[in-house]
Amino acid sequence: MSFYIAGTGSALPEKIVSNEDLATFLDTSDEWIFTRTGIRRRRVLTGETLNDLAILSARRALEDARVAGNEVDLILCATMRGDTVTPSLACSVAEAIGSHAPAFDLNAACVGVLYAMEVADSFFAAGKAETALIVSAEAMSKLLNWEDRSTCVLFGDGSGALVLKKGAGRLAGVLSTDPDSHVIRMPNIEGMNSPYNQNGQQPLAMHMDGGEVYKFAVNAMGRNIEQVCRLAGIAPAEVDWYLPHQANIRIIDASLRKFKIGKEKVLVNISEYGNMSATSISVLLDEYARRGTFKEGDKLLFVAFGAGLTSGAVLLEWKKQG
């Protein structure tokens, strides 16, 4: 017994920023961004808070699963940074949906939802939960240097949510870390007000060596697909749907090329949202689930890489209602 996905939801900021919009204040173009990444536009927080989005996506997933807030036994939020250091985003969601379940945030960058699924799996296996709510929410726009064209064009804001229920569904999962604190780095705001701080203040903005991340990503995605399929005892060709992290369409194509998988099996929405870090996979899942793409028993493979450097894959059978 493990878990299946009983419901999904998502919530995105209203503001749409196109590549052309960025070109009004950056030395860039729609042609450069689209051909290098597959991104046309992204959503950016303006008046909304990340809490607002996280709560809305959680409510939509609960409604989809027909689960009440007080029936949830575990709340996990995958985020690199919520609106407040404390309470955690997960506690804010718990308050809004009327839950007293254990609630905590988890930071595994873009792989956050897969890490959260595997943590939930351990709760299910230990008999500590029957129903889990996973919420991913990222305010990437607040973490970027908007004068750095090599990074700020790549990301977007948003939130997605999944309700997991104990039962047959998950076939296998793998997680790993290839620790590297240089290729993607985002300093913290620590020490700002301390009179004892001797380290000065670092700018809160992302530094990324895009080429190194690209190489890691292609290698890690391929490795995780092979590992998770081996654990489940199936061939990559037997997977019905691939849901890869949406960082760059060229990374997705290059990682999957060697498996000779038909393009129609590889789900993408990067053109609309850019890289939403932990949120990419949950929004992708919600969009395709609501379109009725998945049939009972279909095998879905989620695969992601992220800052840390983290990576992972989860393979499961689609069975929406128990």
Shortest distance, position 228 Cβ to ligand ACO, whole Å: 20
Q: Which is nearer to ligand ACO, 116 or 232 (CB)?
A: 116
Instruction: Confirm if 170 and 120 have CB atoms less than 8 A apart.
Output: no
Catalytic hit among 51, 107, 248, 275: 275
Interacting residues toward ligand ACO by CB under 6 A: 28, 32-33, 36-37, 109-110, 149-150, 153, 184, 208, 210-211, 213-214, 217, 247-248, 251, 275, 277, 306-307
What per-residue string of b and e applies to 212-239 under the rule 16 or more CB within 10 Å gives b? ebbebbbebbbbbbebbbeebebebeeb
In sequence order, which residues have a C-beta less than 8 Å from that of residue 134 and are 6 or more positions away?
Answer: 76, 77, 78, 113, 116, 117, 120, 161, 162, 163, 164, 282
Q: Which is nearer to ligand ACO, 55 or 309 (CB)?
A: 309
Q: Which is nearer to ligand ACO, 132 or 247 (CB)?
A: 247
Q: Given CA atoms 164, 165, 166, 169 in this order, what sign does their dihedral have?
A: negative
Q: Which is nearer to ligand ACO, 219 or 293 (CB)?
A: 219
Q: Which is nearer to ligand ACO, 55 or 218 (CB)?
A: 218
CA distance linking residue 139 with residue 43, whole number of Å: 10
Q: Which is nearer to ligand ACO, 28 or 49 (CB)?
A: 28
Catalytic hit among 110, 224, 229, 248: 110
Catalytic hit among 51, 107, 245, 248: 245
Instruction: Confirm if 280 and 114 have CB atoms less than 8 A apart.
Output: no
Shortest distance, position 130 Cβ to ligand ACO, whole Å: 32
Among 142, 129, 138, 140, residue whose Cα is nearest residue 160: 138
Q: Which is nearer to ligand ACO, 8 or 255 (CB)?
A: 255
Shortest distance, position 242 Cβ to ligand ACO, whole Å: 17
Instruction: Confirm if 236 and 260 have CB atoms less than 8 A apart.
Output: no
Q: Which residue is nearest to ligand ACO (CB)?
A: 210
Shortest distance, position 79 Cβ to ligand ACO, whole Å: 11
Is-catalytic flag, 275? yes
Shortest distance, position 152 Cβ to ligand ACO, whole Å: 8
Helices and strands, counts by H and E, the chain: 10, 13
Q: CB 319: neighbour CB atoms within 10 A?
A: 17
Shortest distance, position 179 Cβ to ligand ACO, whole Å: 15
CA distance linking residue 241 with residue 225, whole number of Å: 12
Is-catalytic flag, 245? yes
DSSP 180-242: -SSSEE----TTSS-TT--S-------EE-HHHHHHHHHHHHHHHHHHHHHHHT--GGG-SEE
Is-catalytic flag, 197? no
Residue 208 — φ and ψ, nearest 5°?
-145, 135
Shortest distance, position 263 Cβ to ligand ACO, whole Å: 19
Q: With H, G, I as helix, E, B as strand and everything else as coil, classify residue 122.
A: helix
CA distance linking residue 115 with residue 80, whole number of Å: 13
Q: Which residues are catalytic?
A: 110, 245, 275
